[in-house]
Structure 1
Amino acid sequence: MKNKMGEEKSHKRSKDEHNSPESSARKPSLRQAIELITSLISISHSIKVFPVKWQSIRNKLDELLSGLTAVENCDFGDIPSLSAAVRGITNTLTESYDLARRCVDLSFSGKLLMQSDLDIIYAKFNGHIRHLSEIYTAGLVTHEYAIVVSRPGLGASRDDMKFYVKDLLSRLKIGGTEMKRQALVAFNQVISEDEKYIKIAVEIGNFIGLLVNFLDSQEAEIQEEASKAVSMIAGIDSYKNVLVGAGVIAPLIRVLESGSELGKECAARCLMKLTENSDNAWSVSAHGGATALLKLCSNGDCRCELVVLACGVLKNLLGVEEIKRFMIEEGAISVFINLVRSKDEVLLINSIEFLQSMAFGDESTRQMIELALKAALRLCGTSEEAKKAMGDSGFMPELVKLLNAKSFEVREMAAEALSSMVLVPRNRKRFVQNDQNVGLLLQLLDPEDGNSGNKKFLLSTLMSLTSSNSGRKKILNSGYLKNIEKLADAEVSDAKKIVRKLSSNRLLSMLSGLWYS
């Protein structure tokens, strides 16, 4: 009996010692560390001095809180490195409490010394975060320890949304491959439905940086989901600089070079949004982006959608003259002249638009694109939808400019393409809205001027224009109407048809005027 009572007393004494403050100090728990961090964050908000430094420290405390909360239910006695990390964090928190108290009471001896002490504390917290990240990356903490938070419902409070995003961050940090993938999928779902989640993610330290790091993942699915995420974030103007500041451009280009097909598409879509800013265009070019994109466009095995996206990024890069020159030297014109032979209409249109942009304001480059006109001509013969798309994309003003080109072949192709495009009512209406267009066609029909395009196609274009009231009025009011009358007198069949149509409508107009007078 005595032995049994002695054992019970011994066990009780051992238990009391385990629960004593001294014992807790020797082996702090995750819960204690989390409570200390939460308390210190709260106290720091009441500090009026050194606000910038305390804000930086608070950001690090938020990161630590996120990392520790993820493994709160972990029996870390089995993970010595995590146990040691928690001890170190607790020691630093104790030091921080002392500094915080002195800052609140204004009882520090000197500003310079306190600033130095705060810098040291900041560096220590930064080191703890890196150490935790190394532990998680090493896979010592597995998914069975992670707390999985349910996704907030519609109309959830901002605090609930923030808690959910922090949980996703924790899973991204400590989870294995599948857990990381699921967390990224979940993040992409919520940001696609509610932009407020993006704002919260941007505000949480290291979240965007972690997404950027995942772009270099060897796991295709993780890389793809990370590419989707940054592409959606890039769609909001105010967050583009956040991504660029996190170093997103270089890894995006690496995805273009060696990622999966889906990853490449997401990366190209993100770069297209980012390069709307010319400063970012420079950065893309500096990291070899122009070369990588041209390589994609010349790869016949790539899906059309990817090539269209790559074309969009390159078109943005053309806004910087030096990059444009570099692309010409890299053979961009030949790459896109090959693309205009594509049977895919969307790709074909985008390719010709790129060539148009490249030729804009540059006569020498424009001459290098006679071949592109052939493709435009062929496209005009494919379908009415293709002609509409070309009209909407601004092809007609460019074709009108080429009606005065030095090369007869270029003038002829431009006239033929134009005659085909104005067969579509929407294009015809758009064409006659510009008074100079009709006048130029009539001017080029001067029988005494041998420097015109093919008269057959110019007359065909005018014939189409006579089918609308506005077109007929523009022709009748033009100072060059006599040119078509001369051709009609010379027995040019199409010219005679146009004159008859104009005369008939003029007579009907006169009769109508008499009838109603």
Structure 2
Amino acid sequence: MGDQENRALEEKPMLQQSIILISSLISLSHSIKVFTTKWQSIRNKLEELLSNLTAIDNCEFTESFSLSITLESILSTLKNCNELAKKCLDFSYTGKLLMQSNLEIVNAKLGTHLQSISDIYAMGLLSQNYAIVVSKPSFSASKDDVKFYINDLLSRFKIGSNDMKKQALLAFNEVIQEDERYLKIAVETDGLINFLVKFLDFQEIDIREEASKSVFLIAGLYKSVLISAGVIPPLIRVLESGNDSSKIFAARCLMKVTENSDNTWSVSAHGGVTALLKICRNKDSLSELVGLACGVLKNLVGVEEIKRFMVEEGAISEFLNLVRSKDEVVQICSLDLLQSMAYGDESIKEMIIQEGGIRAFVRVLDPKSPFSTKTREVAFRGIVNICFSTENILSLLLNYGFMDHILYFLQNGDVVVQELALKAAFWLCGTSEEAKKLMGDAGFMPVLVKFLDSKSFEIGEMAAETLSSLIMVPKNRKKFVQNDQNVCMLLQMLDPEKASSGNKKLLLSILMLLTNSNSARKKIVNSGYLKNIENLAEVEGSDAQKIIRKLNSNRLRSIFTGFWHS
């Protein structure tokens, strides 16, 4: 048997002796009532050393002369530490200053041993035998058990075997999702976050992917810790050269860290904007990844210089191409990003229009198109936000069928889309007299009447204001009155037992406008619902009384005219 094999056999007992002795010391240290601060520091190093030695126990030893010397030294220190622990427990030491000095010496030696083991890992003198990870503690495990488990995983992060690193990362990601205690202790464990950040640059695909997942999971609660560890540059490198899964986790993590505007410059400074734009341009990029890239860019466009850079890079035309995508996630995220870019920026709005943005947005609203309700919701919002302050846009919208689409969704859309269509109608009728006439001819008024008794005061008010605006046009007023059902529905809604106070006011304001028409006054008087207005005049006051006076003055004129001509 060779010298190397003899050493391997000798090391195993020393290693196991050390593990047993450390476990005993950790337990004993909790009972010591003197020099508690120094024993706490010693216990922390013992726990880390135990994790390292347990991990080594699962490794093969190759050319391990350095390990043999280290284990001999560790065992010697542990025996010395054990003697000191017993003296502290029994209060049998001769002097406080001497004991303090001895404890400091042991603490320093333990630190040296930890560094020696790290050096052995770095030299690659340990190779994996089987990637075993210490059993996960039960749900009711103590904080010390959780801490030991995390330290054990950290030890495995340090070992040269890539398979062991991967197994440790998988275990780490599992426990931090199941129990927040593991995440808190992991963040507090010296060096662990730095290891995860370093793993982002690993060539090993699986390690890179799991590390990307780790930092994403941590970013939800501890993104400042990740920022301090320098996570942004390697995340961007993952976006540039990682596999699809690691890119998705990296983009999710960047989404979280860029929620704080303080970090946006760091992303830009390390080439993040270019990397994100490249993902959006790549036809082979997964739709989920493109959506996330748009989300990160949305967080960045609040910085004017970054937004201008994106525009110079042709981002507007690129994102309008994405609006035309067949994937819902890509459509919604690109629509949302374009709106964020246009917010408060007239020059960007104009560029979006010039690049064919209005046509792309209106196309989403075509009832014959396969777009989802959510996509249409974002498109509706985009048209209103981008076109609201833009002049001479009406003819462009009409040419693309925008008015027809609004009317369709007012009649057939679900609640969310109906409300957006109503907002669009309200905005549209405020653009010009021509728009009001066209809306009157298209049949908006009977549809708006149905929204007047909505349970939502906001919707009822918007419908009333839109209808009032349309009725101000004489041509529309005449068309409205010609439909007997329109006037009757208004009067029916004024039933004092059914109408809310807010609705009454809105309805009376519309009726006041209608009383400017002779035929409308006659229809109101002959409708059979005049009693509703009279009841309101007695209870509510001014608006209803004005309508009654106007109707009565018209009756008197009719009587006198008839008498005069008789």
1:252 corresponds in structure 2 to 235
Given that residues 442 and 481 in structure 1 are in contact (C-alpha distance below 8 angstroms), is that contact kept between their aligned partners in structure 2?
yes
Q: Over residues 132-168 of structure 1, what are the superposed CA-to-partner deviations in whole Å (9 max), with x where a residue is unaligned?
A: 3342244432333876422233333333333333332
Which blocks of at least 5 consecutive residues in structure 1 are unaligned? Answer: 1-23, 109-113, 490-494
Q: 1:379 to 1:221 in 2, by over 3 A?
A: same
1:278 corresponds in structure 2 to 261
Q: 1:244 to 1:385 in 2, by over 3 A?
A: farther
Whether 1:446 and 2:415 are equivalent positions in the alignment is no
1:347 corresponds in structure 2 to 330
2:307 corresponds in structure 1 to 324
CA positional deviation for 1:292: 0.6
Opposite residue 138 of structure 2, the aligned amino acid is G
Q: Over residues 177-204 of structure 1, what are the superposed CA-to-partner deviations in whole Å (9 max), with x where a residue is unaligned?
A: 3232222222222222222221122222
CA positional deviation for 1:364: 0.4
2:197 corresponds in structure 1 to 212
Given that residues 70 and 146 in structure 1 are in contact (C-alpha distance below 8 angstroms), is that contact kept between their aligned partners in structure 2?
no
1:156 corresponds in structure 2 to 141
CA positional deviation for 1:324: 2.1
Q: 1:232 to 1:502 in 2, by over 3 A?
A: same
Opposite residue 226 of structure 2, the aligned amino acid is L
Opposite residue 480 of structure 1, the aligned amino acid is S
Which of residues 46, 51, 54 in structure 2 aligns to 1:69? 54
Describe how 1:52-131 pairs up with structure 2 within 5 A: 62-72=47-57, 79-86=64-71, 107=97, 129=114, 131=116
Q: 1:163 to 1:55 in 2, by over 3 A?
A: closer
Given that residues 154 and 192 in structure 2 are in contact (C-alpha distance below 8 angstroms), is that contact kept between their aligned partners in structure 1?
yes
TM-score normalised to structure 1 length: 0.74
Describe how 1:80-479 pairs up with structure 2 within 5 A: 80-86=65-71, 107=97, 129=114, 131-144=116-129, 148-174=133-159, 176-235=161-220, 237=221, 239-370=222-353, 371-381=356-366, 386=371, 388-390=373-375, 393=378, 395-396=380-381, 399=384, 402-408=387-393, 411-412=397-398, 415-416=402-403, 418-419=406-407, 422=410, 423-427=412-416, 430-431=419-420, 440-447=427-434, 455=438, 459=442, 464-469=447-452, 470=454, 474-476=462-464
Larger radius of gyration: 2
Q: Over residues 365-403 of structure 1, what are the superposed CA-to-partner deviations in whole Å (9 max), with x where a residue is unaligned?
A: 111111232222111226799463146558437516614
CA positional deviation for 1:85: 3.5
Q: Distance in 2 between matches of 1:498 and 1:320?
A: 55
Q: 1:395 to 1:482 in 2, by over 3 A?
A: closer
SS in 2 for 1:153: coil
Q: Distance in 2 between matches of 1:63 and 1:241?
A: 25
CA positional deviation for 1:33: 8.2
CA positional deviation for 1:335: 2.0
Q: Over residues 266-323 of structure 1, what are the superposed CA-to-partner deviations in whole Å (9 max), with x where a residue is unaligned?
A: 1111111111111222221221111111111111111111101111111111222332
Opposite residue 145 of structure 2, the aligned amino acid is D
Q: 1:285 to 1:458 in 2, by over 3 A?
A: farther
Whether 1:503 and 2:487 are equivalent positions in the alignment is yes
Q: Distance in 2 between matches of 1:292 and 1:350?
A: 17
Q: Distance in 2 between matches of 1:377 and 1:394?
A: 7
Q: Over residues 82-141 of structure 1, what are the superposed CA-to-partner deviations in whole Å (9 max), with x where a residue is unaligned?
A: 22344566788899999999xx97749xxxxx9xx989x87x877754543342244432
Given that residues 61 and 125 in structure 1 are in contact (C-alpha distance below 8 angstroms), is that contact kept between their aligned partners in structure 2?
yes
Percent of counterpart pairs with the same letter?
Answer: 44
Aligned length: 471
SS in 2 for 1:218: coil
Q: Distance in 2 between matches of 1:273 and 1:459?
A: 47
Q: Distance in 1 between matches of 2:278 and 2:251?
A: 13
Which blocks of at least 5 consecutive residues in structure 2 are unaligned? Answer: 1-9, 88-93, 494-523, 536-566
TM-score normalised to structure 2 length: 0.68
Opposite residue 156 of structure 1, the aligned amino acid is A
